[in-house]
Copies of this chain bind each other. A is one copy, B any other.
Amino acid sequence: MSHIALLGAGRIGQVHARAIARTPGATLVAVADAFPAAATKLAQDYGAEVRDIDQIAASDDVDAVVICTPTDTHADLIEQFARAGKAVFCEKPVDLSLQRVKDCLNVVQETGAALMIGFNRRFDPHFVALKAAIDDGRIGAVEQVTITSRDPGLPPAEYVKVSGGIFRDMTIHDFDMARFLLDEDIASVFATGAVLVDPAMRDLGDYDTATVVLTTVSGKQATILNSRRAAYGYDQRIEVHGADGMVQAENQRPADIEIATSAGYTKPPLHDFFMTRYTTAYEAELSAFLAALATGGAFSPSGQDGLEALKLAEAALTSAQTGQVVTL
């Protein structure tokens, strides 16, 4: 049984608390949050204690921490808990600054701490099956990857301000997925961003609509299609073409029915967002973390994966802002 503490009791913290509760072999011991009420609520719901960060770092009954706090605290917390000898699972990104991430990963390496980064989509069962089909040689050598990722709606302006922008906040998941599927170094990044959803995004210095093309050293191409708006729900699709064929994963639906009337055939909208779309992925992600803890196996995606995805985000931002292709 792994004893886990949760740092951050917000939206994504609740997702992880639920995953812990549903995972055999894991128990939630403690919860910390800057807002005591949030920590108390979550602790009560799952039979855990409220403790502060330092108490958790010093707790003998905690094996691992799951970091769901705001991004600007991630690197400090990773370092603190790495030094405290706890295994660390941290939500993406490690930090918005490449240098800060590198420094943090150095501490992780020095302490020999276990660190896994929360790229949850790698654990979605359908994407897992897609990756397995590629690895099994079903479509031959990968040539083109297309990732569609559309949020149902804009995040609050307050969130956008500290998010690091669409590429670091949203596309970063797609960069990780592209790397995961291409399995080859990226040579160049092209990105174009626009403000088509809400003019307020322009004032915030961000984009709400973006298209990114990654080209690998051998010429493989990955396209990422992003928007902060999708009227029909959280749109998450992957399509991979190889020498011998294609594999794709379509969207999942909470109510998979079809109604046919004189207006045509209608299916209900998609999941409303990641909390419901990736429920199974979050559980599988936690299980992978626990399995690595238990077996001493590799923690994947690693801190380095987090760093590489952030590098691509930086390059995409530069490309979009300059209108030029960025060579890595």
Q: Are B196 and A265 in contact (CB under 8 A)?
A: no
Chain B neighbourhood of A265, CB < 8 A: 232, 266-269
Please count how many residues in chain A sit with their CB below 8 Å of the partner chain's CB atoms: 72
Task: Choose, from A48-56, A159-167, A220-228, the stretch at the interface.
Answer: A220-228
Q: How far is B184's CA from A52's CA once the two chains are assembled, in angstroms?
A: 56
Query: Given A45-B24, A256-B249, A257-B248, A243–B125 Cβ distance below 8 Å?
Result: no
Asked if A194 is an interface residue, CB under 8 A from chain B, the answer is yes
- Scan residues 205-257 of chain A and give those whose CB is less than 8 A from a CB of chain B: 209-211, 213, 215, 218-221, 223, 225, 227, 229-232, 235, 241, 243-250, 252, 254-257
Q: What separation, in Å, do the CA atoms of A193 and B188 have in the docked complex?
A: 12
Chain B hits for A194, CB < 8 A: 143, 215, 218-221
Give the chain B neighbours of A261 by CB distance below 8 A.
Answer: 138-139, 231-232, 244-246
Given contacts A190-B190, A213-B213, contact A264 B268 (CB under 8 A): yes
Q: Which residues of chain B come closer than 8 Å to A250, judged between CB atoms? A: 256, 258
Residues of chain B within 8 A of A244, CB atoms compared? 231, 261-262
Asked whether A257 lies within 8 Å of B133 as measured between CB atoms, the reply is yes
| Residue in B closest to A256 when the chains form the complex, CB atoms | B126
**Chain B: minimal CB distance from A31 (Å):** 16
Residues of B within 8 A of A247 (CB): 257-260
Residue of B nearest to A232 (CB): B260
Given contacts A188-B323, A323-B325, contact A241 B257 (CB under 8 A): no
Q: Verify if A66 is at the interface (C-beta below 8 Å from B).
A: no
Residues in B with CB closer than 8 Å to A232 are: 245-246, 260-262, 264-265
With the chains together, A324 CA to B230 CA distance in Å? Answer: 31
Q: Tell yes or no: A293 within 8 A of B by CB.
A: no
Q: How far is the CB of A122 from chain B (nearest CB, A)?
A: 15
Q: CB of A146 within 8 A of chain B?
A: yes
